[in-house]
Structure 1
C-alpha cells in the first residue's frame, strides 16, 4: 500500500492479509516505511524453515516481498554471492534485493520464473511493482486518488478502508466477447492489473511510470531451419525447464490427462526426478460419454512406473460449489474447464503441495482446433468471387464460412474463449452498455499486427491475453485456494519465445497440430499417445447445465433480484435459457458466461457487506 499523504501502519495491512491466508498458510510478514507498507502470506516450498519475508539488503535500504518461484535461483545465488552479497537463507526470493542493488531496474531481465514482486527502495523512496513475463502470477492495483493498494487478489481490497466495489459496465462487452476481461482492465472501476511482463514505478512525488519490460516475439517466424533442428532445440530446452520446475522441498506431483502435453511433461519429469512421482487425473463417469481419458493417462503412468490417482470430478460440480468458485476466481471468468480442475486440484492438495501442469502448450504450439480455420478459410478464398457471393446470397450450407473468409483476421478473431459476437452482444446488453469489445491494449495489438500471417496474429493475441487472463488465472486461483502451487513449464518465457519463432508449417499442417512438440513426444512416449486426436481438458458443459446446474442457471438468471438485470435484456436471457439443450454448445457457453457474471456480482457484493460488518469502510456502488 502506498499513500500520498499519511504514514502507513502495519495494522492497515491486516484485513488484506487476512483475505489471502489461503495463498500462504505457513507464514506472514509485514513492512512499513513512512507512506508505504506491504505484507505477504507465505506458502513454504523452498527452505521451509528459514525463507521468511520480507527480504532485506545487507544495509536494509532495499526491501522486497514476492509471490512465486524463481527457477533459475541456483544461478542467481552464485551470481549475487560472487558479487560479495551474503544470503541468510536458501529461499529463492532473497536474491531479488541484491539483484536490484547491482542492476537497478534491469534486475528483472535476470529472472526466470513466475512472480509478482513489490520492492521498496528506501534511498529514493520509490516503489517497484512487477509481474512475470507470461503472467503466471497476478498483481492487481486499486487507486482512489489518495492511495494505491496492490495485491495478488482483487478480493483483498474489500478489507480496505475506502474501497468502492463499483462495477464498470463499459467492460461488459469485452467480458461477453472473451469470457474474461483482458488486462490491464477489470470489471471493477479503479481496479486494474499489471499485464504480463509489465512493471510499475511509483516515485516519491507520486508520479507513475508503467511499461512492458518483456513481450513475446509476435513477428515473422524463422523459416530458415528444418523440423529436426527445432525438435532438438525444444527437447533440450524442455528437459532443462522441467528440471528447474521440479525443485521443491515439499511433496510434488503432476496433473496427467493422458493428452500429449501433460504426457510429455510427465515423461520428462519421471526421467529427471530422483524420487517416486505421483500423477492425478480428472475423469467423468460413463453418463458423460466421451469425457473419460483415464485409459490414456493409465498407459503413460504404467510406461513410467508412476502412481496414478483417479478423481471423479463430477461429484464436486454442485450448484453450491459453482457459486463459491465465482468468488474464488476473483474476476468473472467463464472457462468451464475450471470445474474439473477444481475437483482434481482439491484431491491432489490432500497429498501434494506442488503440481506440474501442461497448460500453455495449445497457445504456444497452435494446438486449438480454431487455429485450423486458417487453413480451411484460405482454401475458400480461392473460390471465384462470383461463386462465393452466390453461395452467400442463397444461404447454402457453409455460407457462414464464406462470410468469415471475407473478414480480416483483425476484425474476425476474438480468441479461443470467444463467446458472444458483436451482434449477440447488442441483443443481450441494454443499449447504454454496448461498447467496443476490444479495449485499449487489445485494440492497439490488432492495429499493429493486422498484417501478420493469420496464425501468428491469432497466437499472439492468445498468448498475451487468453493465456494469462483465462488459463493461468484459473490455475493460480484454484491452486492457491487449496494451498497448492501449480507450475506450468510450457509457460517458461524461453519456451514461449522458441515456440513463437517456429515456421508456420511446423506448427500446423492441415489437421496435424503441434507438429514440433509431437516430434519431441515421439522420443519419450508410446506411439499411440502421440497419434491420438486432441481432446483438451474436456467439460460436458451442456450436460451439466441440463443436469446438476440446471436450476441454479434458471433461478439465478431469472430472479427478480438478479444484479445483472441492470445490464442485460431479460427477454434475451430467457430465450437463451429456453434454447439450452443437446446440440446447443454455443448457447451453453453463453449461459455459463452470464451465470458466472451474476454469481460473481452477488458474491462480491455480499463479501463487501461482510467487510462492512467487520468495521471496514468499503462500499458497494450500483452502476
Structure 2
C-alpha cells in the first residue's frame, strides 16, 4: 500500500515532458518522502511520490502489466486487495509484490475501464494503455483522494494537488471570479469546479478518458444511493446490518506494516471505531485527542476520550493545539489546503496530526458519520418545519407580516428544501453576498451541477435530499480535503472507515424514522454503540470538533493579522468585494462578535491568504526568473 501523490502530462503533439514532470513532483514531495517513480514515452509522462505503508521494501510505482503495455500510478489504498490478488492469480496473472496497487493494471487487462467497479478503497488512478494510446483518470467513489485536471486544449495535466501546476511554465494561475459566490456560500469550492480557470477536479466516482485524437470523455461510474430510503426493518435489524458491515470495513482498514493509531474525541463516531478496532487489532494502538487549554472553557473533551481509551486498555495522548494557531501557521495552512477552504476545524486538526505523526504513520478517523447517519443539528429542522406547515398558509403569512418571534422558521417552512438548504458549511446568504461583493466583477455564477442535483432531488424526502447534498459536496470538498491535505503534509495516512462506499449506501437506505427521533440522532449507529460502550459515551450531547473561532479571531495576534490581510491594498485592488462591507464585518468582529461574523471573516481571510500564495506568489516567482535587462 502506498499513500502518495500522482502527477502527469499528456500532449497530443509535444514530446519530452520529463522536465515539466520534475517540477510537479517537487511540489508534491511532502506527499511521499519514501520514493519516487516515473514513466515517459512520446506524448505522455506519469509520476508519483510514495509514502510507504505496506510492503515497504517493494511496491514501487509505476506498475506495469506482464507485457508492459499497461502502466499505472495511483494514490491510495485498495482495501479488498487480498481477494482481488487471489482472483488475478487464479486467472494466470503474475504479481511481483504485496503492494495493493499492482492489481490495477491486471484488472484493467481483464475488464477494461469497468475494473473500477471491482475495487474498494480510497484512490486516484492514472492508467496509460500503450496499445490504444488512451489515458484513463479515475477517482474513488466517495472522494477520499483528490485528482485535479488542468486542460488548455493543447496540454492536459493531472495532479493530486492543485499546487503542482504552479511548476509548469504554461500554467497561468488565473482566478475565475464566477466561482467566488459558490465559495462564499459553502466555505469550499464545489466540485468539479476550482477557483482557477482551465482547472477542474474529478468528482467522486468520476472517470476521465483521453482518446488518442484528444477527445475528452467524463462520466461517473458510481453515485451515492439517494433514491428513496427503505421503510422496513427494526432498529435492531439495521444495527445488526451496520455492525456487521462496519466490523468488516474497520478490519480492512487496519492492515499496515507501520505504526497505527486513532483520533479519539470521546464522541460517538470515533468511539465506535475505537471499539471495533480493539476487537480486531492485536497490536498496540495509541489514541490522540485534541484539546484547547483551560483558558478556552468548553473546548476540552479529553475526559470522555480518556474514558474510552481506558476501557480499551490503550495509551492516549492529550494534545493542546492553541499555541500552534499563529498568523504564520494560518498563512501556511491556506497553501497546504491547496484550495480556499474556510472550515475552522482544520486548525485543531493540524496540531493533532502533527503530534500523531511523531509516533504513527496511519491514523483511523471518524469523518463522514454525521453526513451519512444524519447527525448534524440542521437535519433536525426537517421535523420542526413539517409541524409548522400544518399551520394554514394565511395564518403563517399574517404572523410573518407582524415580524413576531418565530418568523424566520415560518419563512423557512414556506420554502422547498432546494430553496432553503445550502449545506452544513453555509456561510453567506444570497443577500449577504450581494452586499459584500461586486456582482459585475464576478459575472454569472457557475453552479450548474448543484442546480441539477436539486432538480433531481425535488421528490425526495427532505432529510434524504439534504444528506445527499452533503455526501456529494460537503463531505468530499470539505471534510475529506482536510483529512487528505493535513495528513499528507505531516506524512500521515488518515483512514476514514465511515466513507467506505458500502457503508455510505447502507446508511442512506436506513428508514428516516430510524435516523432521527426527537433529539436523538444517528439512532442506528447509537444502537451499535450501546453494545460496546458506556452509556455516558453513547448518549453524551454532540459537540463536533470544537474550535473557538470567535475568540481566536478577536484576540491578538490574529485580530490585527486579519485586519492587515483583508484591508491590504492588494486585496482592495482585486475589485471583487465592497471595501466598506469588508471593513464593516471586521468592525463587527471587534465590537459585537458572533459565531456567524467570525465564520464570514474567516472565509474572507482564507480566500485572500490562498490568493497571496497561489496567485500573487507565483507571479512574483515568475518575475524573479526574468533577467533585469528584460524587465
- TM-score, normalized by the shorter chain, greater than 0.5: yes
Preserved contact between residue 221 and residue 503 of structure 1 (Cα < 8 Å): yes
Within the candidate set 159, 176, 179, 2:184 is matched to 176
Preserved contact between residue 262 and residue 363 of structure 2 (Cα < 8 Å): yes
Q: Distance in 2 between matches of 1:35 and 1:436?
A: 36
Q: Distance in 1 between matches of 2:443 and 2:514?
A: 38
Deviations, residues 489-516 of structure 1 (Å, cap 9, x unaligned): 0000000000000000111112111000
TM-score by length of 2: 0.96
Within the candidate set 566, 581, 591, 1:572 is matched to 581
- 1:524 partner SS: coil
1:550 match: 559
Preserved contact between residue 138 and residue 153 of structure 1 (Cα < 8 Å): yes
Number of residues paired by the alignment?
617
After superposition, residues 464-475 of structure 1 pair within 5 angstroms as 464-475=472-483
- 1:465 partner SS: helix
After superposition, residues 147-546 of structure 1 pair within 5 angstroms as 147-433=155-441, 439-546=447-554
Deviations, residues 224-249 of structure 1 (Å, cap 9, x unaligned): 21211110000011110001001001
- 1:12 partner SS: helix
Q: Distance in 1 between matches of 2:195 and 2:453?
A: 20
Q: Distance in 2 between matches of 1:175 and 1:408?
A: 22
2:611 pairs with 1:598: no
1:560 match: 569
Deviations, residues 295-350 of structure 1 (Å, cap 9, x unaligned): 00000000001110010010111111000000000000000000000000011011
Deviations, residues 88-134 of structure 1 (Å, cap 9, x unaligned): 11000000000000011110001100000000000000000000000
Unaligned runs of 5+ in 2: 1-8
How far is the alpha carbon of 1:435 from its aligned partner?
Answer: 5.8
2:79 pairs with 1:71: yes
Preserved contact between residue 34 and residue 49 of structure 2 (Cα < 8 Å): yes
Q: Distance in 1 between matches of 2:326 and 2:70?
A: 47
Preserved contact between residue 179 and residue 446 of structure 2 (Cα < 8 Å): no
Deviations, residues 551-571 of structure 1 (Å, cap 9, x unaligned): 111111112222674200010
Deviations, residues 564-616 of structure 1 (Å, cap 9, x unaligned): 74200010111111111566111110000000000000011244146526859
- 1:104 partner SS: helix
Q: Distance in 2 between matches of 1:14 and 1:276?
A: 39
- 1:388 partner SS: helix
Q: Distance in 2 between matches of 1:91 and 1:9?
A: 28
2:3 match: none
How far is the alpha carbon of 1:437 from its aligned partner?
Answer: 5.6
Q: Could you say if the C-alpha distance between residues 437 and 341 of structure 1 is closer, same or farther in structure 2, counting changes exceeding 3 Å?
A: farther
- 1:195 partner SS: coil
Deviations, residues 206-227 of structure 1 (Å, cap 9, x unaligned): 0111000000001110112121
Deviations, residues 494-540 of structure 1 (Å, cap 9, x unaligned): 00000000000111112111000000000111111001010001111
How far is the alpha carbon of 1:291 from its aligned partner?
Answer: 1.0
Preserved contact between residue 139 and residue 153 of structure 1 (Cα < 8 Å): yes
Q: Distance in 2 between matches of 1:65 and 1:176?
A: 35
Preserved contact between residue 253 and residue 352 of structure 1 (Cα < 8 Å): yes
After superposition, residues 87-106 of structure 1 pair within 5 angstroms as 87-106=95-114
1:620 match: none
Q: Distance in 2 between matches of 1:435 and 1:196?
A: 27
Unaligned runs of 5+ in 1: 618-623
Runs of 4+ deviating beyond 6 Å: none
Preserved contact between residue 382 and residue 462 of structure 2 (Cα < 8 Å): yes
Preserved contact between residue 46 and residue 249 of structure 1 (Cα < 8 Å): yes
Q: Distance in 2 between matches of 1:261 and 1:611?
A: 44
Q: Distance in 1 between matches of 2:68 and 2:538?
A: 53
2:5 match: none
Bigger relative contact order (CA 8 A; separation at least 6): 1
How far is the alpha carbon of 1:381 from its aligned partner?
Answer: 1.1
Q: Distance in 1 between matches of 2:431 and 2:309?
A: 47
Q: Distance in 2 between matches of 1:228 and 1:343?
A: 39
Q: Distance in 1 between matches of 2:470 and 2:610?
A: 24
TM-score by length of 1: 0.97
Q: Could you say if the C-alpha distance between residues 564 and 587 of structure 1 is closer, same or farther in structure 2, counting changes exceeding 3 Å?
A: farther
Preserved contact between residue 134 and residue 212 of structure 2 (Cα < 8 Å): yes
